[in-house]
Structure formats: structure tokens, C-alpha cells
Amino acid sequence: MTARAHVLANGLTVAVQPMAGVETMAVGLYADVGARSEPGGLSGLAHMVEHMLFKGAGSRDAKAIAEDIEDVGGSLNAWTARDHTVFHARMLAGDMALGVEMIADLVRAPHLDADELVREKDVVLAELGEARDTPDDIIFDQLQAAAFTDQPLGQAVLGDEASIAAIDVDALRAWTATQYRPAGLVLAAAGKVDEAALLKLAEARFGDMAAASPPPPASARFIGGRHHDKRRFDQLHVALAHPGTGHGDPAHHALSLFASAAGGGMSSRLFQQVREARGLAYSIYAWTQAYADTGLFGVYCAASRAQAGEALALTRAILDETAEGLTDAELARAKVQAKAGLLMGLEGVGASCDHLARQLQIHGRIVPPAETVASIEAVSLDQARAAGQAALAGGEALATIGGKLAKAA
Amino acid sequence: MTARAHVLANGLTVAVQPMAGVETMAVGLYADVGARSEPGGLSGLAHMVEHMLFKGAGSRDAKAIAEDIEDVGGSLNAWTARDHTVFHARMLAGDMALGVEMIADLVRAPHLDADELVREKDVVLAELGEARDTPDDIIFDQLQAAAFTDQPLGQAVLGDEASIAAIDVDALRAWTATQYRPAGLVLAAAGKVDEAALLKLAEARFGDMAAASPPPPASARFIGGRHHDKRRFDQLHVALAHPGTGHGDPAHHALSLFASAAGGGMSSRLFQQVREARGLAYSIYAWTQAYADTGLFGVYCAASRAQAGEALALTRAILDETAEGLTDAELARAKVQAKAGLLMGLEGVGASCDHLARQLQIHGRIVPPAETVASIEAVSLDQARAAGQAALAGGEALATIGGKLAKAA
């Protein structure tokens, strides 16, 4: 079933992905701003705003927000990334109006109470503590800081103790007033959705927002370098990154396919050589992360302290070899995996909603699956190798937690 | 679309959940045995077998297993629980025969090579290290050990250094020969599935297995007590458990609804009081875990070392209050959430396959959604309170990691 998008007079996009054979739906408001748009000294502001909106909005306090959505068997959730923020409801098809109303209240009529902020800072500090207690979570913040040193894109979404302490109600209000603007918002729905009803709801709840765009974030530049977290853990966790492709980069699919062949699945070189043939690690995989203007290609690995140096040296060698010697068979397998993954991803209600909204945020339009498949198919062996070579030649960021690398790695 | 089950002459069950609007499918072999069936001294055996099957089976070595499934854009995965083990393939509808063939080879024709076992032990030790580096993962193993002290059900799925060292190829062979028996196996498929083709494949790949049942595991008894992991983390992680209901227990839905009202969502008492009103924790939730003969009801919470004692005392008080004073409104909300959750869970291909197979393992038949809904509806306020009271009166297991509790909690 075909996805469709509409733009309200004020610039807000409304999009629908109808799905057969389901009785439920997902609706989300996707804001094109996140942690990388935060003012200096206020790292964690976007995430704190996300938390604070749930403490009261419109006619509801925190308890009523929770009860009203859960009374109909639905759920209301939110997440903050470096370049977007999402407010998301999952519910039975008949409850769409409630979901849209609640999301609109969160973003447009939050209470932002000062006493609630004091308490919620404790909750966010506990969340930060939990992240620090999870090496394979916090290491990606440390890697990001090494990759984009001293830039907003290098800051952690959660912030730190000092920046969280510095957030006040005025900062929250300034954020909601300047960052949630119609031209930067997509209201997307997937599942059993009545398109006309959604459009009517969108007009009623968002149509009177003044037309405006959120301020663009500062562009970012890959720097690279090292971050070592001295705490001792059972395993030595290692994450490395090289500069990758941004969303609009013509080499974007080529780099994704390179990453897949290097370390995307059980048949990848990293899995086969580091884990299967040598038994050096349980977790080893390559990944890519794209932003509007830049991106990362990287690898995560956890190994014993005695073997992590060897695992890292082998990882680097495998990446170099793959960039030089990627084969036709490997590229073909990566393409098939990418195409099947696209299809499987589109079969879930929540995932379809995300996919639809992110396409509109990234490309400004709904890209038909056939067009994405054609773009994947069009990548040549030379292009995939070149994308890997360009990433590897662009410098390295390295983060380690859990112990010192035994070798000069 | 209606799910259907068939039983082969040797006792193996084949089940199908056809789904509209999808082009992919999932197929899994669900074995009714897991870590609780392991012989003394060999904790981790079921999980090690699961790993070793991927090192070579039938005509394929580890690399060919990975490549053959990923060449068609599919994936092959497995997981081991305390009371079941799953071998699972996700793929395009046209590749079902390959998925069933590969799963059959894993279970029926594994190579179980001694040299590969040496290497794979290193991989499993790294997996164990990663689990230990994740307090909110390992704490549940420690809680299980406190709940079912010195019993097979109290042992960790991964095992420990000593028990992993003790596993040899003979133990692997004995496991596959005695535990994977037709009467304990369900081959389930969901998505775009040709039922007749699946039945034919099942007969061809599994029909010649000799009829037999796996040996039943020893029954378990809740003991309770404390486990304290002395390592220091940022947060103090706390998990507590009380005896819960087994799969066939008439109070099973009543306890699940009690757990939902106490700590199942944003509107639950634990979330509202511990997090929203007091800011004592970021993560706080209640859960239930059922086995054939017994189960657990519990709560997980992470809080700062200074506040964890208070959070635990408040948690215990809230559980007591909920068991005494659960309201009609809370029970009604828990019921709506359970019903909507059931519906949403059945809309995903992988989740539908799991749901179908687990019903057949647990109840020996496919329970129609309407029957589950009726069972949920039938729970009275008194029954839900009584289920909570019975759990709380049955003793307590407590696990802590990250620091000492400040109060005499």
C-alpha cells in the first residue's frame, strides 16, 4: 500500500503509510532537531526537554498523561538523538485522535514547572549513571566526542553533571519556542490509519502554528583522536570510527554495503575471522551513522584484556584488506541483505512509521522502495571499495573502556 | 488469519500462522529443553550446544552456514533459555525450504568438532564477560540463583568458568541425542507461509526422527535469600523476586495483571511514586517470569547509592499497598493494556512465530486470542489482589550490584 505525504500551509508535513492486516497504528511527531542544536554549556537540553514535556502538558499532569494513554491500552514514548527528537504513540486504530492530541499538547503546551525540573534532573542523572554502568552504551558517547572533538555533534545526548545542573526553565522554554517549528516537523502515521481523519487532526492541532523553520545546526568536521575510560571491566571494550557519509552523499549506499561486507552479519569478514576463526571476541560488528552533513563508519568489539590488542590489530587489517579486496560475491551478498532488510523493516507498524518520517526528514520526500533498491543495485565494486578506502584514509577515532590495550595498538 | 497446528507421526508439532500483507516469513524450531535440564556440573551446556551447532552441520562448515543464509538476505539465529531453546530463521517467503533445511541440519547433523569447541569456549567466555559488564543483565542471573538456590533452575544459562571448562564433545553429543526429541519439538512458521509446503518439508527433514520425549527436568522450589555483587558501579542496581505462578496456574493472568498495575507502565504505582513523584530512579519496573511448574514476580530498580535503600523500602511498601488496595480502575487499565499488547504483539512476523510456538509448548494447543482475552477479562479484583498477596507472602530473593545499601533494607 502506497505511502503519501501532505504539507500544511505552515510547512508541517503529514504522512501516512497504510498497512493491510493490522488493527493497530503508530503515530509520531518527528522534530528535525536534537542534541547537536544545543547552545554551548547546555549539553543535555534537548533530552531534558523531552523528559520535562511528560511532567505535564495541556490539561494533564504527569499522572494523567500516563493514565489517559494507558487507559486505552496505548503507550506514549519519546527519544532524543543528535539530529532529531521523536514523540511517539502506539495504540489501537480507533484511538488515533487521543494520540495526536496528546503529542500536540506535549510539544505545544508543556507546563515546564520549575519544581518538576529539580526532580527530573535526579531522574536524568540516574539515567546517566545507568548509561555509564553499560560500557557498550557509554563507549559510543566517548567515541563521538573523540570523532567530533569540541563540537556540538561530539556532545552526549544525556549531557553531564555540570551541563544538566545549568539547565533552567528559561532554557527549556527557549528550546520549545525556537526548535519545534512547522517546517522542521513531520507528523507520520502507519498501520490502520484513516488518512482523511489524520489530516483533519493535524490541521486542528498543528495548523495554527506560525510558519517557521528551526535554526540550522552548526556544521561538523571529523577530528579523531583517542578517549580512554580508565574504569576496569571484565572485558576491554573497543570502538573505532572513521569519517563516513552524510545523508545526501552519493557514496552513502556504497559505504553501507562496504560496512555490511566488512562486519554486518555472521558471514562478514570481521565475524568470520575475529570470532569464528580465532575466538577473540563475542561481539564484533561494523556500523555506519549518517547525519545531514557528515557521518561515521565504525567497528565495536569487546574482548578479554589479554586479547583486545590483537583483536584491534586484526580488525584494522581486515578493514584495510576489505577496502582493497572486496569481492563481487561479498558485494552481491551485502546487496541482497540490504534489500531483504528493507522489506522486513517495512512490515512492522512502528518501524514503518519511523522509516516514513525519517525519509521525509532526510530526503524531503517519500522514496519508493523500488528507488532505494535501484540505488543499492547500482553500487559497483569499485564504488564500494572506494567508499571504504575513503573512510579509512580520513583519520581514526578510538575509544576504549575496561583496561589498557596490551599491545601498541 | 487462523493459526493451525499438525502433529507428525513421531510427535513433532508443525504450526503455521499465515499473515496478510507481508512478503517475508519466520520459521523456528522450538525445543522444550534449556539450561534447567543440564546435568550437574555442566551449567552452560545447553547454551554451548547452541553455539557449537553453528560451527558446522550437515554439508556446511561455519562459514557456509553464514554465507548460505545471508546470500538470500536471510538470517539464522538461536537463543537458549532456562526451559527452551530456539533455532530461528528470518527470510523472504520463497526461501523457506533453505531455512528449514538449515535448521534441521543444525539440530540433527551437527559436526561438534573438538578443536572448534576449544575456540568456541573462548567466545562464550567473552560473552560471559560482556554479561558481567552489564549490571542490569547479570543481576537477573544472581537473582535467579538466590530464588532457586542450589537447583538447576537457579543456574545461569551461560554457566561459569569451571562449568564451561568441564564441557567436552561427549557432553555435547549426549545433549543433542537425548534432549532434541520429536515430542519436545515445535516447528513454527509465521508470515507469508505455504502451509502444505511447510508440512512437506517438516516430514522430509524431521519425519524420520524416532518418536521420543526429552527427559523432564527436576521440579524446582523457591528458596529465596540474598546475593550481593561487591563490584562498584555508578548506580546501585537492585532486583527482588517473590514466588510467582507457573504456566498452568489458574492465577497466572491475575498475577500478570497485578504486576502490570504495580509496575508495568508509566501509569503504574512504582513508576508514578518512585520515579515521577520522588525522582529516585530512572529504571523501575515489575515483571513476571513463568516456567512449567513455578515462576517469579519481581521488580528491578537502579538508583544512586545514596538513594537505593530508600527506593527499595518504597518499592516494598508500594507492593504491599497494591496487594491490599488495588483499585477497579487500575485493574481495568491493566486488562486493556494486556489485550492491546496481545494484539500488537501478533502483528510482527517474528513475534507471531514465537507466540505460536510458545503456546504449543506451554498449553499443547493454539489458544485463540479471544480465549486469552476472555481469561484476562475474567480476573476479579479479589483474584488480582490475592495473587499479589500470595507472591509477597511467599518469601523474597534479593540481588544487589554496585554498592552497599545505605539503609537496613
Say if residue A23 is in the same domain as residue A137: yes
Among the partner-chain residues B123, B282, B402, the one whose CB lies closest to the CB of A275 is B123
Using the beta-carbon criterion (under 8 Å), do A125 and B304 form an inter-chain contact? yes
pLDDT at B407 over 80: no
Q: Which of residues 36-95 of B touch A (CB under 8 A)?
A: 54-55, 62-63, 65-67, 69-76, 90-92
This prediction's pTM: 0.96
Using the beta-carbon criterion (under 8 Å), do B119 and A19 form an inter-chain contact? no
Among A155, A27, A179, CA closest to A90: A27
Whole-angstrom distance, CA of residue B313 vs CA of residue B273: 12
pLDDT at A279 over 80: yes
Say if residue B201 is in the same domain as residue B235: no
The chain B residue lying nearest A23, using CA atoms, is: B343
Distance from CA of A212 to the nearest CA of B (A): 33
Contacts of A52 in chain B (CB under 8 A): none
Using the beta-carbon criterion (under 8 Å), do A133 and B303 form an inter-chain contact? no
Domain housing A382: 225-402
Per-residue pLDDT tens for B111-120? 999 999 999 9
Say if residue B262 is in the same domain as residue B389: yes
Contacts of A336 in chain B (CB under 8 A): 70-73
Under a CB-based contact definition with an 8 Å cutoff, are residues B48 and B114 in contact? no
> Which of A155, A173, A206 is the endpoint of a domain?
A206
Distance from CA of A125 to the nearest CA of B (A): 8
Contacts of A70 in chain B (CB under 8 A): 265-267, 333, 336-337
Q: Cβ of A24 under 8 Å from any chain B Cβ?
A: yes
pLDDT at A406 over 80: no
Q: DSSP letters of A310-340? A: HHHHHHHHHHHHHHHH--HHHHHHHHHHHHH
pLDDT band at A1 (very low <50, low <70, confident <90, very high): confident
Per-residue pLDDT tens for B345-361? 888 999 999 999 999 99
Say if residue B38 is in the same domain as residue B100: yes
Alpha helices in A207-327 (DSSP H): 252-263, 269-270, 308-325
> Measured between alpha carbons, how far is residue A229 from residues A143, A156, B159 in Å?
11, 15, 29
Among the partner-chain residues A1, A72, A281, the one whose CB lies closest to the CB of B336 is A72
Per-residue pLDDT tens for A102-153? 999 999 999 999 999 999 999 999 999 999 999 999 999 999 999 999 999 9
Contacts of B133 in chain A (CB under 8 A): 134-136, 233-235, 237, 302, 402
Say if residue A249 is in the same domain as residue A142: no
As a whole number, mean pLDDT of residues B218-230 equals 96
Using the beta-carbon criterion (under 8 Å), do A19 and B21 form an inter-chain contact? yes
Residue A407 confidence (pLDDT): 58
Say if residue B116 is in the same domain as residue B194: yes
Domain assignment of residue B73, yes or no: yes
pLDDT at A409 over 60: no
Say if residue A171 is in the same domain as residue A270: no
Among the partner-chain residues B23, B339, B402, the one whose CB lies closest to the CB of A343 is B23
Domain assignment of residue B409, yes or no: no
Neighbours of B364 (CB within 10 A): 10
Residue B1 confidence (pLDDT): 81
Whole-angstrom distance, CA of residue A153 vs CA of residue A222: 10
Whole-angstrom distance, CA of residue B316 vs CA of residue B330: 18
Using the beta-carbon criterion (under 8 Å), do A266 and B66 form an inter-chain contact? yes
Residue A20 burial by CB count (10 A; 0-12/13-18/19+): exposed, middle or buried?
A: exposed
Domain assignment of residue B146, yes or no: yes
Q: Cβ of B266 under 8 Å from any chain A Cβ?
A: yes
Whole-angstrom distance, CA of residue B59 vs CA of residue B67: 13
Which strand (E) or helix (H) includes residue A204?
A: helix A195-206
The chain A residue lying nearest B274, using CA atoms, is: A123
Among the partner-chain residues A19, A119, A303, the one whose CB lies closest to the CB of B279 is A119
pLDDT at A408 over 90: no
Domain assignment of residue A366, yes or no: yes
Residue A154 confidence (pLDDT): 97
A386-397 exposure pattern, b = at least 16 Cβ within 10 A, e = fewer: bbbbbbbeeebb
Contacts of A347 in chain B (CB under 8 A): 21-24, 348-349
Under a CB-based contact definition with an 8 Å cutoff, are residues B259 and B391 in contact? no
All three cell numbers of A43, joined, read 549539553
Any idea what the CATH number is for the domain that residue B131 is in?
A: 3.30.830.10
Q: Cβ of A98 under 8 Å from any chain B Cβ?
A: no
Q: Cβ of B275 under 8 Å from any chain A Cβ?
A: yes
List CB contacts of B295: < 8 A, sequence separation 6 or more.
B243, B244, B245, B246, B247, B249, B252, B255, B288, B289
Q: Tell me what ipTM this predicted complex has.
A: 0.94
Per-residue pLDDT tens for A44-93? 999 999 999 999 999 999 999 999 999 999 999 999 999 999 999 999 99
Distance from CA of B150 to the nearest CA of A (A): 25
Q: Which of residues 338-357 of A touch B (CB under 8 A)?
A: 339-341, 343-344, 347-349
Domain assignment of residue A257, yes or no: yes
Contacts of B120 in chain A (CB under 8 A): 279
Contacts of A270 in chain B (CB under 8 A): none
Q: Helix, strand, or coil here: A217?
A: coil
Say if residue A26 is in the same domain as residue A147: yes
Per-residue pLDDT tens for A143-176? 999 999 999 999 999 999 999 999 999 999 999 9
Among B129, B130, B132, B152, CA closest to B140: B132
Residue B408 confidence (pLDDT): 52
Among the partner-chain residues A123, A275, A339, the one whose CB lies closest to the CB of B279 is A123
Residue B345 confidence (pLDDT): 87
The chain B residue lying nearest A69, using CA atoms, is: B267
As a whole number, mean pLDDT of residues A246-267 equals 97
The chain B residue lying nearest A138, using CA atoms, is: B134
Angle formed by the axes of helices B381-393 and B308-325, to 10°?
A: 140
Q: Cβ of A139 under 8 Å from any chain B Cβ?
A: no
Contacts of B349 in chain A (CB under 8 A): 344, 347
Total domains, chain B: 2
Say if residue A287 is in the same domain as residue A186: no
Per-residue pLDDT tens for A361-378? 999 999 999 999 999 999
Distance from CA of A73 to the nearest CA of B (A): 4
Domain assignment of residue B212, yes or no: no
Under a CB-based contact definition with an 8 Å cutoff, are residues A87 and A107 in contact? yes
Task: Compute the C-alpha angle B355/B357/B359, nearest 5°.
Answer: 70
Say if residue A194 is in the same domain as residue A238: no
> Which of B206, B234, B257 is the endpoint of a domain?
B206
Using the beta-carbon criterion (under 8 Å), do B340 and A133 form an inter-chain contact? no
Per-residue pLDDT tens for A198-236? 999 999 999 999 999 999 999 999 999 999 999 999 999
pLDDT band at B409 (very low <50, low <70, confident <90, very high): low
Would you give the distance in Å from CA A152 to the centre of its chain?
16
Say if residue A383 is in the same domain as residue A320: yes
Q: Cβ of B265 under 8 Å from any chain A Cβ?
A: yes
Q: Cβ of A370 under 8 Å from any chain B Cβ?
A: no
Q: Cβ of A166 under 8 Å from any chain B Cβ?
A: no
pLDDT at B268 over 80: yes
All three cell numbers of B304, joined, read 544512586
Whole-angstrom distance, CA of residue B31 vs CA of residue B122: 26
Say if residue A164 is in the same domain as residue A233: no
Contacts of A119 in chain B (CB under 8 A): 277-279
| Chain position carrying cell 522486513 | A344
Q: Compute the residue count for chain B.
A: 409
Residue B211 per-residue DSSP state: P
Domain assignment of residue A213, yes or no: no
Residue A345 confidence (pLDDT): 87
Domain assignment of residue B55, yes or no: yes
> Which of A179, A206, A233 is the endpoint of a domain?
A206
Q: Which of B90, B133, B300, B401 to mutate to test the interface with A (most CBs of A within 10 A)?
A: B133
pLDDT at B341 over 90: yes
Residue A195 burial by CB count (10 A; 0-12/13-18/19+): exposed, middle or buried?
A: middle
pLDDT at B379 over 90: yes
As a whole number, mean pLDDT of residues B287-304 equals 97
